[in-house]
Structure 1
Amino acid sequence: MQVSHPSQLLQPEWAEIIRSEATVAERTGLLQPKQLQLIYQQQWFKLLVPEVYSGYQKSLPEMVQLEESLAWADGSFGWVVTLCSGAGWFAGFMPVKEASAIFENPKVCLAGSGASNGTATISGNGFVLNGSWKYASGAQHATHFTANCVVKEAQETVLGEDGNPRILSFIIDKKDVKLITAWKYTGMMGTGSDAFEINNLKVSADRSFRINPDFALVDQPLYRYPFLQLAEATLAANLSGMAIHFMNLAEVIFQEKLGLNKLSINQKTVLRNTFRRLETEFGQLREAFYFALNKSWSTPNNEKSTLKEALQEVSKTSRLLAKKARETVDQLYPFCGLQAASPDTEINRVWRDFHTAGQHSLLTFLE
C-alpha cells in the first residue's frame, strides 16, 4: 500500500504553529499557548474518547497516521497528544456517570503512567490511594491523571482470578495530585513530563476501571482492540514521524553539500546512494506497518486465529519500524556535519527528541 507523507494530513498553518513554538516549548519545558489552542480547537486530546462523551472516537489507523504527522511536525508536541489522547481511550472503560462528567470539558486532558507504582487500600465503598509515578507527559496541561495501583485489603495484597496481584486503574482530579519536576533528559523537553504523587487520597469505587477489552463499557471496536498493540503502534508512529522529520532536514543539508565543490565525485555518489537506499528501506517498512495495522483493524473479532496473527504482525512491524527508524537516523547523522550536533539547530532538536523517545522500553526488543 502507498502511504502518504505525514505533511499531507496537516494543514500548513497547523505545522507552522507547532514548529514556530517548538524552541520555546523546549526551553520552558511545556507546550505553548498557541500549540494548546490548536489542540483544543481540533480536539486532539479527544481523538480516542467515545462519541457518546463528545469525543472523536477515531478509527485506529486514522488516529495512528495523524499522530505520526503531529510527531513529524514536532516530537514533543506529537508525544503529548499521543500519550494524552491515548489516556482518553480509557473513557471506554470508565463508569458512565464519571466519564460523562469528566469528558464534557472541551479542554479535558489526561496524563498519567502505566506503571503499577501505587496502592489502593479498600476502605468502605472506595479506596485510599498512595503512590508515586514518573514521567507523566502533558502533566502541566492535564485536568486529570490516571494511575495503576495494586489493590490492598488492610496490609494484604488482593489477588486476582489468575493468582497475581489485582491491579486497578484510577482517574484522579489534578487538584489531588502533587507534581514533581523530574524530566532531566536530553530530548522531549517540551513534553512537560513531570512525576506525580498521591498521598492518602480517598476515592469512590466509581473512579476505578480495568483496561481490558472484556471490561469495556462502550461497545465499539476501538475499545475491543488490545491495549498492547494500540500502544505499540502509536509509539512506533511517533518514532516514524520524528525520523521522517530528520530525513527531510538531512536531505536539505545533503543538497547543500552536493552543490559545493568540497566533495569528490565518489563522495557525492555515496551521499546520494546512502540517502536513497535508507529512504527506500524505511518507506517499505512503513508501508508494511500500516498494512498490518489496517488488517488488524478490519479483521472481525470472531475470526480469532486470523485476528491473533494480524495482531502479532502489528507487534512485529511496530518493532521493525522503530529499529529501521533508529538505523536510518543514525546512518544519516554523520553526513550532516556539525550543524546536526549544535543544540541550537532544528535538526539537533529532532535528533535528541528521536533518541530520547526511542528509549521507550515497549519497542526496545524485537520480540
Structure 2
Amino acid sequence: MSFQAPHPSSFISPEVLAVIRDNAPEAEGLGQLHPAQLALVYQQQWFKLLVPKAYGGLETSLPDLVRLQEAISWADGSFGWVITLCCGAGWFGGFMEPVVAQQIYSTPGLCLAGSGAVSGTAELIDGYYKLNGTWKYASGAYHATHFTANCLIKENGETVSGPDGEPLVLPFIIDRKDVSLLPTWKYIGMIATGSHSFEMQDVVIRANRSFHIDAGYAKVDTKLYQYPFLQLAEATLAVNLSGMALHFVDLCKDVFEERIKLPKLTDGQRTLLRELLQSTTDELQFTRDGLFKAVDVSWEKPLNNCANELRAVTKTSRQLAITSRSAVDKLYPYCGLIAAAPDTEINRVWRDIHTAGQHALLTFVE
C-alpha cells in the first residue's frame, strides 16, 4: 500500500480551527496573536511542544510534530509560524544546564522568541558575559518571556576561537526584561507574527545562560535532542509553507466553483480550471508524501547510521517549500480580483506564503 499523507484537517479539531481562523483577521490588525488564539496556545501547550518532559514539556517526536505544525499553519499562516518558531526555541532546553532550564521552563506563560543570526557579541568577564547587539526577525516577540540570541564570544577585546579554530559563537537565553524591542516588522505578510527586532546593551548574565546546540552537548538523553537541528528546522519550516498552500488550494476550490458558473467562460476554460486545480493538488500531495515519509524514516533509523536519510529530509523539505510556492502561483492568476483584495482570507494566505517563503533555509533545492 502506497504512503499518503492525510490532509491537515485530520490533526486539528473543528473547534480549534474556528478559534484560530475566526480571530486571524483581527490578529493581523493587532500585529500579534489575538488573545483568544494565545489562550488556545497555552491550553494546548503548543509553545512547549519541543520542551523536554523533564521540564514539563511535551517532547513531541518529529513525525508527530511536522504533521501538527502543518495543520496549525493550514489553519493560519502567521499563527502557525509563531508556534513553529517559538516552540522550536523550546527545543534548546535539551542543551541548557538543568538548573537554568528548570528555572526558564517553569515560567508562567512561557514563550521563547529569538534569532539565529550572529549579530551580537558576548564579552567574557569573570565568569559572566556582557551582551551587546541587535537581532532581526524574532517571531512572537510580543508574547516572549525569554529571548535566545547567537553571539560572537570575546575576551579582553579579542575574538575567542572554538575547538575547530573558528571564531566561537554561542547561543544565550535572556530574560524579557533585559531586551528592548524595535518595531521593524513591516512586510506585506505574516503580519500577526510580530517578528520584530530586539537589542541588548551591556546586559550582564551568568555564563550558564549559554549553551551548545550539538548532540554531544545535550543535557537530556533522549532522541529528540540527538536529532540534527538543521533537518529539524528544514522540515518544520517546510510544512508551514505546505500548510499555507493547502489553505490556499481549499479557498481556490470555492473561488473556482463560482467562476465556472460564469456564462462568459467557454467549456475549454472551465476544463482548464478543473484540471489545473486537480494537477496542482496532486503535485502538492506527492511532494508532501515525500517529506513526511523522509522524516518518518530518518526518525526510525539509528542516528549514527542515518546520513542518507537526513539528506533526504533536507532535499524533500526544500522541494516541498518550492512546490508550495509554485502551487499558489499557478492558481492565483485564475482567482480574480478577490485574491488581490487585502481584506480577504485568500489574499492574506497569498501574502503570508510569499513572505514566509523568503526564509533562507527554504530557497534552494540544493
Q: Distance in 1 between matches of 2:66 and 2:196?
A: 25
Aligned alpha-carbon RMSD (Å): 0.7
2:355 aligned partner, one-letter code: T
Aligned residue in 2 for 1:164: 166
Question: Equivalent residues in 2 for 1:189-228 (5 A)?
Answer: 189-228=191-230
Alignment partners' CA distance in 1, 2:286 and 2:112: 34
Q: Deviations over 1:87-146 (max 9, x none)?
A: 000000000001011111341000000001111101101111111001100000000000
2:141 to 129, 139, 142: 139
In the alignment, the residues of structure 1 paired with residue 264 and residue 291 of structure 2 have an alpha-carbon distance, to the nearest angstrom, of 39
* CA positional deviation for 1:260: 2.8
How far residue 165 of structure 1 moved from its aligned partner, in angstroms, is 0.5
Q: Match for residue 334 of structure 2? A: 335
Q: Of the candidates 118, 121, 140, which is equivalent to residue 119 of structure 1?
A: 121
CA distance in 2: counterparts of 1:156 and 1:328, whole angstroms: 49
Kept after mapping to 1: 8 A contact 2:234/2:317: yes
Bigger shift: 19-28 or 333-342? Answer: 19-28
Residue aligning to 1:187: 189
**Which segment drifts farther, 348-357 or 6-15?**
6-15
Shift of residue 208, structure 1, vs aligned partner: 0.5
Residue type of the partner of 1:319?
R
CA contact (8 A) 2:227 2:303 kept: no
User: What's the CA shift for 1:194?
Assistant: 1.2
Corresponding residue SS for 1:113: strand
1:71 aligns with 2:70: no
Between the aligned partners of 1:294 and 1:309, the Cα distance in structure 2 is: 13
Structure 2: how far apart are the matches of 1:119 and 1:192? Answer: 24
Amino acid corresponding to residue 336 of structure 1 in structure 2 = C
- Please tell me whether the aligned partners of residues 115 and 147 of structure 1 are also in contact (alpha carbons under 8 angstroms): yes
- Counterpart amino acid of 1:337? G
2:301 equivalent to 1:310: no
Cα distance in structure 1, aligned partners of 2:109 and 2:297: 33
State the 1:272 CA deviation.
0.7
From 239, 246, 249, give the equivalent of 2:248: 246
CA distance in 2, matches of 1:337, 1:106: 46
Residue number in structure 1 paired with 2:257: 255
Deviating runs (4+, > 4 A) in structure 1?
none
The offset of 1:8, in angstroms, is 1.3
Q: What are the equivalent positions in structure 2 for 1:15-34 lying under 5 Å apart?
A: 15-34=17-36
Secondary structure of 1:274's aligned partner: helix
Q: Partners in 2 of 1:38 and 1:28 — Cα distance?
A: 17
Q: What's the TM-score once normalised by structure 2's chain length?
A: 0.98
Indicate conservation of the 8 Å contact 1:135/1:194, yes or no.
Answer: yes
Deviation track 1:140-164 (CA, whole Å, cap 9, x = no partner) reads: 0000000000100111100111111
Q: TM-score, normalised by structure 1?
A: 0.98
Letter in 2 for 1:356: T
**Partner residue of 2:234 out of 211, 214, 232:** 232
Q: Is the 8 A contact 1:43 1:106 kept in 2?
A: no
Match of 1:59 among 52, 61, 68: 61
Percent sequence identity over aligned pairs: 56
**Correspondences of 1:72-91 after superposition (within 5 Å):** 72-91=74-93
Please say if residues 40 and 106 of structure 1, whose CA atoms lie closer than 8 Å, have aligned partners that are also in contact.
Answer: no
**Contact 1:94–1:207 (CA<8 Å) still a contact in 2?**
yes
Task: Give the C-alpha shift of residue 257 in structure 1.
Answer: 1.3
Aligned residue in 1 for 2:356: 357
Matching residue within 86, 100, 103 for 1:101: 103
- Provide the C-alpha distance between the structure 1 equivalents of 2:123 and 2:103, rounded to a whole number of angstroms: 25
Q: CA deviation at 1:283?
A: 0.5
Which segments of 5 or more consecutive residues in structure 2 lack a partner in the other structure? Answer: none
Kept in 1, the 8 Å contact 2:318–2:364? The answer is yes
CA deviation profile, 1:48-80 (whole Å, cap 9, x unmatched): 000000000000010111111110000000000
1:49 aligns with 2:48: no
Contact persistence 1:72–1:242 (CA under 8 A):
yes
Find 1:178's aligned residue among 170, 177, 180: 180
Q: Does the 8 Å CA contact 1:92/1:217 hold for their aligned counterparts?
A: yes
Aligned length: 364
- Offset at 1:259? 2.5
Deviates more, 1:76-85 or 1:20-29: 20-29
Separation of aligned partners in 1, 2:171 and 2:212: 6
- Alignment gaps of 5+ in structure 1: none
| Corresponding residue number in structure 2 for 1:348 | 347
